[in-house]
Amino acid sequence: MRIELPRTRERFGANVFFGPLQVYELDSGLLAEPEYENGAIVGLSYERLHEIQRQMAVVVPVRGERLRLIEGVLFGIPNQCLTIIVSNSPREPVDRFRIEQQAIYAFARHSRKRVLLIHQRDPVVAKAFVEAGYPELLDGDGLVRHGKAEGMLVATILAHLAGKRYVGFVDADNYSPGAAHEYLCEYAAGFALAESQYSMVRILWQSKPKIVDGHMYFARWGRTSRFTNYFLNQLISHYTGFETDIVGTGNAGEHALTLDLALRLDYGAGYAVEPHHIVSLLERFGGERESPDPQVMREGVEIFQIESRNPHFHKAGEHGHVQDMTRAALSSIHGSYLCTEDLRRQIEEELVRHTTMEPGDAVKPVRRYPPLLDVDFDVFRATVEERLQVMPFQPAQPIHEEAPARRRRWWGGTQPARDHPSGETEESPSPR
């Protein structure tokens, strides 16, 4: 992968948001060919991406998507990644999950992929959350709540239990396997550039084709994203005093995090999950209030936004879905203690104009889930293990240790550092 080095950045406390990075080449060959760096663009070898992907769990949230599309996404996931599929597909009147199981396990057998498949509403998963001390995720039925964020939280714990260092998300409603593959290369490229162990990569789609008057139109911005990005940028601008448009990925379903960061964020429910990432980063590591993680404040958080080249060619959302997305995203910003009165008023106006909210209605706060760091992972593993047949579980990495000094700027030096010696992550014993 050949990728631009960050040119612009915006600091908010310990958070550094980098401006969108362009990519110039999907496959830049082997390490044997000298890695080239001209001060602006760096070539990352296949081995470097592979080393990071080997430590990455790729999460595919599924809810009734066509099997053909799911298979396409699996095709695009590199073999070195662990795939985690959290399905919330209906089990009645037809047991769609069972059909998914059959198809996905067959595909995994053919492709020799390690795939871990679990149902979001499996009672065993709910039991594991209760016993591990994290009952917030359950609903009145005693099962994990419906919703995208909720499935992602299940997957994040599984990724951590599998000893992975990174977790990346790829939506299943993607017609283009090549796009899924590109995102996973870009996640790895972002982490290759990262200096901090607390980092995040968010994909900015170069275009999103839609049908307008019977013709293809390559839209640049989604309907929800315009609002989300605007308000997140306004929020940042208010505190820095310089107006910015740095955030272009407020609703990035395609994103990846280091587990070290993923376990330390709090989460917004349902569709609020992606914009709430930013809200959570600003609140927890923005320096406006005391941070719950002084270690993160010292180390810093890096947020990379990478502009993908494949058009994001997916099933268009219904109008109602777009409204739900918009409401969730803006409510998350509205509910932050950082949000100013003026911004709150603007958000309320937008919600009245673009959703079913009536003037005078109160903005319904987004449900928040606390950081996963406090989950008792050993108990969770012991409970859920019976459901995880495909992949033998390896001990988790030591997340509570003092983080090693990982600052580096290899692309400015002469020798690229090999940051993750092979096997280190998977073999280190868990301290819990």
Of 26 and 373, the one with the shorter C-beta distance to its own copies is 26
Q: Within 10 Å of residue 79's Cβ, how many Cβ atoms?
A: 12
What is the nearest approach in angstroms of its own copies to the Cβ of residue 341?
A: 43
What is the nearest approach in angstroms of its own copies to the Cβ of residue 256?
A: 17
3-state secondary structure of 186: helix
Of 80 and 244, the one with the shorter C-beta distance to its own copies is 80
Q: Which residues, 6+ apart, have CB-to-CB distance to 221 below 8 Å?
A: 208, 229
Of 76 and 253, the one with the shorter C-beta distance to its own copies is 76
| Pair of tokens at residue 406 | 């990982």
What is the nearest approach in angstroms of its own copies to the Cβ of residue 322?
A: 18
Concatenated DSSP letters of 197-245: SSEEEEEEES-EEEEETTEEEEESS-HHHHHHHHHHHHHHHHHHSS---
What is the nearest approach in angstroms of its own copies to the Cβ of residue 108?
A: 9
Q: How far is CA 261 from CA 255, 296, 303, 365, 371, in A?
A: 13, 9, 11, 24, 10
Rg of the chain on CA atoms, in Å: 21
Of 3 and 154, the one with the shorter C-beta distance to its own copies is 3
Of 175 and 221, the one with the shorter C-beta distance to its own copies is 175
What is the nearest approach in angstroms of its own copies to the Cβ of residue 206?
A: 9
Burial 28-44 (b: 16+ CB within 10 A, else e): beeeeeebebeeebbbb
Of 49 and 200, the one with the shorter C-beta distance to its own copies is 49
> Binding residues for its own copies, per CB under 8 A?
2, 23-30, 33, 36, 41, 43, 46-47, 50, 72, 74-76, 78-80, 107, 110-113, 175-179, 181-182, 209, 211, 214-216, 309-311, 313
What is the nearest approach in angstroms of its own copies to the Cβ of residue 21?
A: 13
> Cα(10)–Cα(325) distance, rounded to whole angstroms?
26
